[in-house]
Amino acid sequence: MKLYHMLLFILMSLMSLGGCSKDEASVTPELVLSVAQLEVSQTGETKTIHLKSNVNWTIESSEEWCSIVPASGSAGTNAIMLTVSENSTYEVRTSSIKVTAGDMSKTLELTQNENYLLALEQSAFDVSAQGGTVNVGMQLSNDFEITIDVDWIVRNDLKSLADSTISFDVDANSSFLSRVGHISFTLNDITAKAVINQVGAELFIPADKNGVESEALTLASKMVAGWNIGNSMEVPGGEIGWGNPIVSKVLIDGVKAAGFNAVRIPCAWDSYIVDQETYKISDSWFARVKEVVDYCYTNDMYAILNIHWDGGWLENNPTYDKQDQVNEKQYALWQQIAVFFRDYDERLLFAGTNEVHVEGVYSDPTNEYLSVQQSFNQTFVDAVRATGGKNAYRNLIVQTFNTNILYGVKYHKMPTDMVEDRLWVEVHYYDPWDFCGQESDYTPQWGEAYTDVSDWGQEDWLEEQFGAMKTHFYDKGVPVILGEYGAMLRAELKSEALEKHLASRNYYLKTVTRTAKMNGMVPFIWDNGGTGNNGFGLFNRSTGEVVHTELLLPLLKVQIIRKNNL
């Protein structure tokens, strides 16, 4: 009986085992992956995917650089971590991630980005002023982009990547200023930069006296009548900024036709600096100033080019704390101006500054103000002479403190110059100011024929001032330019007051002009373009036509007084 029960138990057990195998074999495997493709960064990283299966499963990578945890599991939803090491190659690499569940399998394609290589064999190049070719060698792994930040460097030829060298042409540098350009190579998020340093052309050229033979007094005698293009080229940031149209050849032709043979060009430069480290002046501004100078040249007129108010960086800073900074800039600007106009003959003169003074201070200058202001004059002369060529002999004009006659007579010292008899001195004259330029309800007349006049600045003062300039400068061989003078038009006066004003103003301008000529001064009347109330204008700036003929004709008649009348 016991044997019977034992055999029965064994038989039932075998039947039970056979039933389980049959149930499992009847299950259809299911396998779902959360992604079919995966991208990994070049630096390597760990990514998590999810796997869902109804049976046991395994997972493996075709590449050793991708490890998987866990590598197997049972039915259910499972998180799988794929850890990829850094790709140190310069090619994209891939791994097939195979998942098997029962008799089913799926593959996930994993892609890892390549490592990028971009390295320059040389990062800085020195190029002569004559220009040349720069060959930039590099190591690189893929296509790249090139950008150049200046127009004087041009890509020449892209050679094969096996050679990995690119050539660039560098233009000749006509300026004496050195310059720097950058060539940038960009591959993906990598940028390598080549710096091109080019020296400037030779600053000094041999002295050339041809066309600049006249010494100062001789040249001064050739200037009959002078006129200012005021409130145009000296406007910071643009010549039309103060209401005048651009200076045209039509205007200069009209000035010439009226009888003037010399033009003073007040000019700004600071607004046109394109590199604050070298103080490089814009090429386009040089081209524009040249146009205006050439308007004068084509009319066989003399031209005086200066640094005017120019925002006040020089004019308002004759102090020790600003001296070095201002002189550095003064030197750099005048070297550029001098080099650009170096080939012009003696009809072009340079004037170093304008009305240098401390803003709001009109008393006698201190020793500090005087010495600093006169250092600006010396810097100007040194900078121009250092360029050689015709500039070695060019006539140059320096200014008294605030272009004031009294200060000039009392304090002015001429700069040291490497050539004799080529320096002039400049003063301005607007005395008395309440008649000439002060905008107020009180509008006095001027001259001995009138009673309602200022209590100073009449004919005796004028003769004393100009006579002192003759004694202290002209008689010692230094010509004097009266760079500015004038009296504004008070057109809003009525009837008799206006008649007296016009007659008095005409008399003033004629008398100042005559007295200047009698004392060896070359007068340049101020014109700010305005021909209406409070204006100093003589010409229509658009057409070049004379606006105040009744003023201009008498004024020009006295200009014929020449050196032999002194």
Cite the active site residues: 355, 484
CB 272 within 8 A of CB 236: no
CA atoms lying within 13 Å on the CB side of residue 16: 6
| Token representation of residue 29 | 């495997």
| Residue partners of 3: CB distance under 8 A and separation at least 6 | none
What angle, 0 to 180 degrees and rounded to 10, lies between the N-to-C axes of helices 495-518 and 459-472?
20
Inter-CA distances, 76 with 3, 79, 172, Å: 45, 10, 75
| Token representation of residue 534 | 């409070």
Residue 263 burial (10 A CB sphere; 0-12, 13-18, 19+): buried
- Helix, strand counts (H, E) of the chain: 11, 27
CB 168 within 8 A of CB 183: yes
| Token representation of residue 347 | 């009809």
Q: How far from chain centre, in Å, is Cα 352?
A: 21
CA atoms lying within 13 Å on the CB side of residue 351: 30
For the residues of 471-525, what is the DSSP string, one character each?
Answer: HHTGGGT--EEEEEE---B-TT--HHHHHHHHHHHHHHHHHHHHHHHHTTEEEEE
The angle subtended at Cα 403 by Cα 397 and Cα 407, nearest 5°, is 115
First to last CA, the chain: 165
Spell out a b/e string for 451-475, using b for 16 or more CB atoms within 10 Å of the CB, else e: eebbeebbeeebeebbebbbebbbe
Please report, as a single letter, which amino acid is at residue 254: G
Q: Enumerate the β-bridge partners of residue 106.
A: 99
Contacts 24+ apart (CB under 8 A), 159-165: 164/137, 164/138, 164/139, 164/140, 165/135, 165/136, 165/137, 165/138
Q: Tokens 């504004």 correspond to what residue?
A: 488
- What's the CA gap between 520 and 561, in Å, rounded? 10
Nearest Cα to Cα of residue 265 among 312, 315, 302: 302
| Token representation of residue 474 | 């002209």
